[in-house]
Structure formats: C-alpha cells, structure tokens
Amino acid sequence: MAWLIAAGSAHAGGERAAPSRPRGLYLLCWFLGSLLTAFLVVPLLALTLSQSWTGFSDVARMADVRDAIVLSLEGAFLSATLAALAGVPLAYGLARTSFPGKGVVEALIDLPLAVPHTVAGIALLMVFGRQGVLGEPLAALVGLKFWGTLAGIVVAMLFVSAPYTVNAARIGFAAVDPRLEKIARTLGLNPWRTFWRITLPLARRGIMTGVTLTYARSISEFGAVVILVYYPMTAPVKIYELFLRFGLDQAASAAVLLLFVSLGLFLILRALSRGAPERENR
Amino acid sequence: MTDAGVAVETLSLSLGAFRLDAVDFAAARGEILVVLGPNGSGKSVTLETIAGFHRPESGRVWIAGRDVTALPPERRKIGFVVQNFGLFPHLDVEANVALARRGGRNGSGKAALPLSGDPRALLKYFGVAHLARRRPADLSPGEKQRVALARAVAGAPDLFLFDEPFSALDAQTRGELRDELKAFLRELKIPAIFVSHDHSEALTLADKIVVLRGGVMLQSGPTAEIFQKPAAAAVARIVGVENILDGRIAATDGGIAAIAVGDRTLRALAPARFAGPGTPVRLSIRAEDVSIAAPAEASAPAPESEPARNRLDGKILGLRALGALVAIEIDCGLPLKAYLLGPQARAMKLGAGDAVTVEIAGDAIHVMTG
C-alpha cells in the first residue's frame, strides 16, 4: 500500500543538472556594452589628450573664457534651483494623485526632451523676447528683461532641463510606500510634517538625481540659449565662438576646461546625493 | 457608545466600484476583534476608514467614547501596524519611536503601563532597548514587531489597528509573533482590530470575529460561535469548514432533524430557526468531527446516550499528508473530508479504495438555513 506521508520528502536529493548560466547571452551583452561604453568615453578622452599644457593654460587664463564658465555655472545653479522648487511639488502631485488628463500632463512635461533645442529657443523667443507675450510686459512693468541677461539664460536652461527633475522626483515619490505616510499620520503628524519627516527624506535620492541631471543638462545647453541670449556668452556659446573665430585649437582647450569643471561638479553632486547611508527596508 | 472600546456604527462608503455597506461592530477595552474576509472583501478599507483615511458616506466611528468620525487620522489616537510592520527605513529604532512621542500625553489615562512617552523606556518595556541605534533593515521580524508596538504605544493610542502584519512571514515566525502580539495586547488592555484573510490566525487571536465579504458583513460574534455556528455557507467557507453539504429537511422530531443529503440521511440538531420538512438547508461539518472506523468495529451498536450519531459506509478516495494530520477524502454517497493524526492513520493502514465506516455526532453537524 503506497504511503503518501513518506512520499513527501522522497524526491529530495538525486542528480540534478548544475544550473547553467546563459553564457552566449552574457558574452553578447558584454561585447555590445563595451562597444557603447567605448563610444561614449573615447571622444572625451581623445579631446583631453589632444591638449598641450601651454595651450590649455593659455586659454584657462583668458578672462572671457572664465567668465563664460562662471556664467554657465550660475545659470545652471539657478535653473536647477527653480526646477527643484517648482518641479518637486509637481512630481509629488503626479505620484500621489490621479486626475483626468494626468497622462496628458506627463506627456507635456516630457515634451521639451523631444523638441530640438533650436526650436525650443525660437519658441522661447516668442514668449520671452523683446516683443514676446511675457517679455514685453515684464520689461515694461518690472524691468525684467530676458535678452542679454542671466534671466534669459536661466529661462532657456530651465525649459530644456526641468523634465529631468520632475521625472526623477516623481519616480522617487512613487517608490515611497503610502502606508508609511499613513502610519506617520496615525502617530500624530499632520500632512505637512508627514511630508517633511517621512516622504521627502525617503524620496531624497530620486529628487537629488533629478536635480543633478537638470544641473548637468543646463550647463551643457547650447541651442536654446544661443537663440534666446547670444550675449553674455555661456561656456558652450563661447566655445562655439572660439571655434568660428580662431579654429579648433582654442575651442578644444576651452572645451576641455569646461569638461573638467562640469564633470567635477557632476561627480560631487552625485556623491552628495548618494552620501548618507540609506538602506531600503526589505 | 461611551466606554473605552471602539464602535463602528453602520459605516458605508463607496470607493470606485467597491462599496462598503453598513458595517457595524464593537469591541470593548482589551478585546481583540478580527475582521476576517477574503481579498477584496473590504477589510482594509474598513480599517482605513476607522483610522480616518476614507470619509464614510454614513455611519460613525467611536474610539474610547469619542466620536472621531470627523477627525483627521492624526487626532484619532490610533496605533497602526501594517504588513512588514512599516518602520520608517530612514530612521533608526529610537527615532522611529521618538517620532510618535506626544509629550507623554495620554488622553484617556487608561494605559496599564508606566509609559512616560520616553522612547528609551518604551523600547525597554518591549525588550528592544539594545536596538535603539539600529536601522529597521537590520532587524528580524520579531524585533520589528516589538519596535512597531513601541512606536504605536508612544502615540498613546486608544485603539490598535493591524492590517495583516504577518502576511509576508513564514508560517513558524507568524505563529510565534502572533502569540507574542496576543500577550502584549492582553497586557496593554487597549482594544485592537486585526484584519486577516487567514481563519487560523483569527482563531488564535480573536475574542470576536466579524466576517466580511464583498463589503457586506456576513456575521459577527464571539470566535467560538463563528467557527462552530457559521450563519451561512459563505461564512463556513471563510472560516475554513471542510465539509459543506446541500440537503433538505426530511423530518423533525423534537430537537433532532433528519436531513436528506443525496440518497443518504443525516441526523443533526434541528436549526434554531423553525424549518419544516422540505426546507433546503446546508450542513457545515468540520473535518475533525468526522471520525473513521474500520468496517468491522463499526458494527457495534451505538450507545444510547448518543441518539443522533450518524454512521455511514464509504470508500476512501485518497489521502494527503498535512504535517501532523492526514486529510482523507471519503465517498459515502456524499463527499466527506476527515482528519486523522498521522500515526493513527498509519496504524489503521488506510489506503485509497479501502472501505471504511464514518461516524459523525449529530451535534457536530451545524444546519444552516441561510
């Protein structure tokens, strides 16, 4: 008579094939991945190695080049700050509420990423230019001009880079378990304190990633800035000008300088956003 | 409702396509009430409405004699514990508990503990003071439960709400934590509402059970009553009754009813509500009340003291090992499931196809007219 109790543990053990790793797939991934990584790194490396020290230090001492880099950093800082101030609340709203037309709003936020940046610059000119819908009245009423000013640079940078903050922060907020917020409420925290003490710290990494990307994208913006504000020159515009007027050598030296500055800041920001030990509760 | 417990009065609300309909129950101070129901029954919605996260369309919620229906969650004085215990991952254990501190205020003044609201003292009470600097990710489930309780108590709650805190744990840990939780709740003397889909969890924890399905309350009452006298087949299924049979009352004689099930007749205690011959009924029989005898020994006459003892001949369809028990499916003209202890089943050398005699006491058959 078959006895089923014993049968339960009988199948354990015995010969079983060793779990085989999909080696072919791994090799293909490594191969294609290396190609892409090399494609991304080699041009920057080639640019850097092309520089002689004297040419580089000559350009680095040029006041207009330094001014352009400082201006880029200022503009990017303001752009990232504005993106954080307005983008983080929007991201929270998108992550925590649902309303008719939410998909449309999300698509609109991504729109600047799909628009060629020269097109974005022309569109911004229509709004913030001398005869723009906002540009004209703002200049007349409060003296805020967007042509030839830092304000214009910031507007152009913000337009093309704000989506990064909104998207990354939205993903960060969406990953915060709503039940943690509920628990905080039952513990006596009102919605504001719950947001500050629980939600914001837990979404911090996503927000910082977004702000860092916005910052990096702002520094690198050329197309929209050059159309809305040619002067004063940001670093990418300055490099373009050097290229047109003096040729490749000076432009390349300025480019390497900008590369070092922006890469350094990017790495610092990244380190900051991952700084504090934050382990997920699993 | 003015005592120290919790009362939910005819609570109704709609959430999208879901509707919670006139849910109504109460638990006294120190009682554990389990809201039992399958997924989608509305038990979590009920809990979150009590906590103040959904606004009911009608009905009231009373906590410790206060009508809290219009209050936001932060003013209801609730300790809320969810699956995996919901500790804040970015704060260490002490900061988790300190977040809830309300300056030692204890509105009702009823807590049985010398709790000053001091996080250290609370951690000590729950035996986790040594973990004060740890992050939640580094805690075992048992430690998490204790920290979650300390944090909830720090908020000086008048009511505990538990939303399936154990559902992600393995069976053994679940059993241990359940026992520990019950002991703490007994000591704290704060009423608790515990939501679960697991009837064995309800059986160990509950003083009272509310059975919910599709947003409707099917039955509520003391634990023993829900398990022994389910009001309807749906309740019997939710509390895990293994044998639910359709039948028809053939005759009643005093307190005993003869019930036709297929071509067999079972004798059971007559249902409390009058039901004449011909009334369709459902029978609820727990597998542990179905006993199995070899055909030979069953030929002895039934003792006089058990007039309603049912005896049916049948054939074993199959056996299945379930830890200490063996589940046995039997065909007696009606399908029955019985449990035997493993050694007992082995001693009887039972196997599929064997002829057996099944006995069921009449008072083990619960007749449901609903």
Note whether residue B1 is domain-resident: no
For residue A201 the two structure tokens come to: 């710290």
Whether pLDDT at B298 is above 70: no
The verdict on B177 and B287 lying in the same domain is no
Sorted by sequence, the CB contacts under 8 Å of residue B335 that are 6+ apart come out as B243, B245, B329
Per residue in B245-297, pLDDT tens?
999 999 888 788 899 998 899 999 888 777 788 889 999 999 999 999 876 55
Give me the residue label for tokens 């005699």: B357
The verdict on B37 and B182 lying in the same domain is yes
Give me the residue label for tokens 């260490």: B92
Per residue in B322-357, pLDDT tens?
888 999 999 999 999 999 998 888 888 888 999 999
Q: CB of B204 within 8 A of CB of B182?
A: yes
B335 backbone φψ class: left, alpha, beta (φ>0; ψ -120 to 50): beta
Whether pLDDT at A18 is above 80: no
Q: CB of B271 within 8 A of CB of B256?
A: no
Note whether residue A5 is domain-resident: no
Final residue in a domain of this structure, among B233, B260, B276: B233
The verdict on B72 and B155 lying in the same domain is yes
Final residue in a domain of this structure, among B207, B233, B259: B233
Note whether residue A251 is domain-resident: no
Whether pLDDT at A39 is above 80: yes
Which of A4, A182, A185 lies closest to B320 in CB terms? A4
Whether pLDDT at A274 is above 90: no
Instruction: Identify from A5, A185, A186 which residue to disrupt to test chain B contact, counting B C-beta atoms within 10 A and taking the largest count.
Output: A186
Count of structural domains, chain A: 1
Residues of chain B neighbouring A1 (CB-CB closer than 8 A): 349, 351
The verdict on B118 and B265 lying in the same domain is no
The verdict on B337 and B268 lying in the same domain is yes
Which of B76, B82, B320 lies closest to A179 in CB terms? B82
Note whether residue B131 is domain-resident: yes
- In angstroms, rounded to a whole number, what is the distance separating the alpha carbons of residues B284 and B262? 15
Nearest to B102, CA basis, from B158, B44, B165, B40: B158
For residue A67 the two structure tokens come to: 């001014």
A25 to each of A19, A20, A178, B168, how far by Cα in Å?
15, 12, 38, 34
The verdict on B250 and B173 lying in the same domain is no
Whether pLDDT at A13 is above 80: no
Give, for B176, the enclosing helix (H) or strand (E). helix B171-188
pLDDT at site A278: 46
**Chain A contact present for B349, CB below 8 A:** yes
- % residues pLDDT > 70 (chain A): 90
Instruction: Identify from B54, B91, B99 which residue to disrupt to test chain A contact, counting A C-beta atoms within 10 A and taking the largest count.
Output: B99
**Chain A contact present for B103, CB below 8 A:** no
Whether pLDDT at B60 is above 60: yes
Whether pLDDT at A222 is above 80: yes
Note whether residue A239 is domain-resident: no
Cα of B159 vs its chain's centroid, Å: 19
Among the ranges given (B130-134, B157-161, B195-199, B292-296), the one the predictor scored with the smallest mean pLDDT: B292-296
Whether pLDDT at A273 is above 70: yes
Per residue in B72-127, pLDDT tens?
999 999 999 999 999 999 999 999 999 986 533 444 444 445 555 688 989 999 99
Identify the residue with better confidence: B271 or A256.
Answer: A256
Final residue in a domain of this structure, among B208, B233, B258: B233
The verdict on B193 and B259 lying in the same domain is no
Which of A4, A185, A281 lies closest to B319 in CB terms? A4
Burial (CB count within 10 angstroms: exposed 0-12, middle 13-18, buried 19+), residue A35: exposed
The verdict on B104 and B222 lying in the same domain is yes
**Chain A contact present for B84, CB below 8 A:** yes
- In angstroms, rounded to a whole number, what is the distance separating the alpha carbons of residues B237 and B251? 27
Whether pLDDT at B238 is above 70: yes
Cα of B225 vs its chain's centroid, Å: 11
pLDDT at site A21: 74
Which of A4, A186, A202 lies closest to B90 in CB terms? A202
Instruction: State the CATH number of the domain containing residue A207.
Output: 1.10.3720.10
Counting one residue from A and one from B, how many pairs have CB atoms under 8 Å apart? 86
The verdict on B245 and B313 lying in the same domain is yes
Whether pLDDT at B14 is above 60: yes
Instruction: State the CATH number of the domain containing residue B30.
Output: 3.40.50.300
> With an 8 Å Cβ cutoff, are A188 and B102 in contact?
yes
pLDDT at site B300: 55
Residues of chain A neighbouring B72 (CB-CB closer than 8 A): 185, 190
- Mean local confidence (pLDDT), A96-116: 93
The verdict on B37 and B141 lying in the same domain is yes
- Mean local confidence (pLDDT), B132-140: 96
Whether pLDDT at B130 is above 50: yes
- In angstroms, rounded to a whole number, what is the distance separating the alpha carbons of residues B58 and B24? 11
Which structural domain range is residue B220 located in?
Answer: 6-233
Q: CB of B115 within 8 A of CB of B121?
A: yes
Which structural domain range is residue A215 located in?
Answer: 66-231
pLDDT at site A215: 95
Instruction: State the CATH number of the domain containing residue B319.
Output: 2.40.50.100
- In angstroms, rounded to a whole number, what is the distance separating the alpha carbons of residues B64 and B113? 17
Per-residue HEC secondary structure of chain A comes to CCCHHHHHHHCCCCCCCCCCCCHHHHHHHHHHHHHHHHHHHHHHHHHHHCCCHHHHHHHHCCHHHHHHHHHHHHHHHHHHHHHHHHHHHHHHHHHHCCCCCHHHHHHHHHHHHHCCHHHHHHHHHHHHCCCCCCHHHHHHHHCCCCCCCHHHHHHHHHHHHHHHHHHHHHHHHHCCCHHHHHHHHHCCCCHHHHHHHHHHHHHHHHHHHHHHHHHHHHHHCCHHHHHHCCCCCCHHHHHHHHHHHHCHHHHHHHHHHHHHHHHHHHHHHHHHHHCCCCCCCC
Note whether residue A275 is domain-resident: no
* Chain A residues 196-215 with a CB less than 8 Å from chain B: 197-198, 201-202
Q: CB of B239 within 8 A of CB of B230?
A: yes
The verdict on B81 and B197 lying in the same domain is yes
**Chain A contact present for B161, CB below 8 A:** yes
Beta bridge partners of B327: B320, B339
Other beta carbons within 10 Å of A147 = 17
Distance in Å, alpha carbon of B90 to nearest chain A alpha carbon: 6
> With an 8 Å Cβ cutoff, are B78 and A186 in contact?
yes
Whether pLDDT at A211 is above 90: yes
The verdict on B146 and B213 lying in the same domain is yes
- In angstroms, rounded to a whole number, what is the distance separating the alpha carbons of residues B207 and A226? 74
- Mean local confidence (pLDDT), B23-37: 95
Whether pLDDT at B164 is above 90: yes
Residues of chain B neighbouring A180 (CB-CB closer than 8 A): 86, 88
Count of structural domains, chain B: 2
> With an 8 Å Cβ cutoff, are B161 and A186 in contact?
yes
Q: CB of A273 within 8 A of CB of A214?
A: no
φ and ψ of A104, to 5 deg: -65, -45
pLDDT at site A16: 52
